[in-house]
């Protein structure tokens, strides 16, 4: 027998949309495409510097908060630092690399298999759905449009439109009130343990963490109510 809550808050990137499992491949291919123009620097070294400076950039919560609202500018900035580190003085090359990477990422983004069917099923069961997604308004809207996701959702909160993002409680409060449910009537599901799961759990929602690569909790003190390997599992295992 089905056992769904009255409402579910769902993250977009890497929960419904496979947006970043291809990050490494996209950088590999983008770097390979500019390899003939690299003066005395191998692709491997370029890749290593990109990884190093990308990790450094996103490791800081403040940079994360600002940067996720303008990924294009962040990539340009990271590549400038990479090129400075490697002694390459070629702004055109940095720009082409950033654009090629962006195009590849866009091209390769796709809904996880079964995600649309799972959303259909939840709608058919009468579950109210809210989307909670961080990032820039235009970028996130474009993804929602491209994959036809808006009709599934009763309410959508995009950080760039709303003014604040997860884990700020206003995101969850706004969604719960738009869906007209109490926290005890709702699940929250997403791949970001802190933002999508633990933060709404503090308000009383049932938190489900999507852990596609079986990364595990790795020393985390707080535990989600449930761990799944894919969003679709909440439908298949509730049937």
Q: Among candidates 205, 155, 152, 207, which has minimal Cα distance to 177?
A: 155
Q: Minimum Å distance from CB 95 to Mg ion?
A: 28
Residue closer to Mg ion, measured from CB, 11 or 49? 11
Closest approach, Cβ 148 to Mg ion, in A, equals 19
> Looking at beta carbons only, is 37 or 220 nearer to Mg ion?
220
Distance CA 58, CA 179 (A): 33
Contact set with Mg ion (CB under 5 A):
11, 13-14, 191
CA angle, corner 30, sides to 24 and 32, nearest 5?
A: 100
Q: How far is the CB of 69 from Mg ion (least distance, A)?
A: 15
**φ, ψ (nearest 5 deg) of residue 190:** 180, 170
Residue 76 half-sphere exposure, CB side, CA atoms within 13 Å?
Answer: 8
Q: How far is the CB of 16 from Mg ion (least distance, A)?
A: 9
Q: Return the number of the residue (100 or 134) whose C-beta is nearest Mg ion.
A: 134
CB closer to Mg ion, 16 vs 82: 16
Q: Kindly tell me which of 13 and 159 has the beta carbon lying closer to Mg ion.
A: 13
* Residue among 94 and 188 whose Cβ is closer to Mg ion: 188
Q: Please count the other Cβ atoms lying within 10 Å of the Cβ belonging to residue 161.
A: 13
Nearest approach, Cβ of residue 191 and Mg ion (Å) = 4
| HSE toward the beta carbon, residue 169, CA cutoff 13 A | 6
Least CB distance from residue 188 to Mg ion, whole Å? 12
Secondary structure of residue 85 in the 3-state scheme: helix
Q: Please give the Cα distance from 36 to 31 (Å, whole number).
A: 10
Q: Where are the alpha helices (DSSP H) in 87-198?
A: 91-108, 115-124, 137-146, 159-162, 169-179
């Amino acid at each position: 027998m089905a056992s769904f809550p009255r409402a579910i808050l769902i993250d977009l990137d890497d929960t419904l949309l496979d947006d970043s499992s291809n990050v490494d491949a996209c950088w590999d291919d983008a770097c390979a495409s500019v390899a003939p123009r690299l003066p005395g620097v191998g692709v491997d070294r370029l890749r290593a510097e990109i990884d190093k400076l990308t990790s450094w950039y996103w490791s800081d919560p403040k940079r994360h908060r600002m940067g996720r609202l303008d990924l294009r500018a962040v990539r340009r900035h990271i590549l400038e630092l990479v090129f400075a580190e490697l002694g390459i003085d070629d702004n055109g090359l940095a720009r082409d690399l950033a654009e090629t990477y962006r195009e590849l990422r866009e091209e390769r983004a796709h809904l996880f298999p079964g995600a649309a069917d799972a959303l259909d099923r939840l709608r058919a069961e009468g579950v109210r759905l809210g989307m909670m997604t961080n990032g820039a308004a235009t970028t996130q809207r474009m993804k929602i449009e491209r994959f036809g996701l808006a009709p599934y959702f009763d309410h959508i909160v995009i950080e760039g439109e709303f003014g604040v993002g997860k884990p700020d409680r206003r995101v969850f409060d706004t969604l719960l009130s738009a869906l007209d449910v109490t926290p005890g009537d709702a699940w929250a599901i997403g791949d970001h343990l802190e933002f999508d799961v633990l933060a709404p759990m503090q308000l009383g929602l049932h938190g489900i963490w999507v852990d596609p690569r079986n990364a595990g909790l790795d020393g985390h003190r707080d535990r989600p109510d449930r761990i799944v390997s894919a969003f679709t599992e909440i439908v298949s295992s509730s049937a």
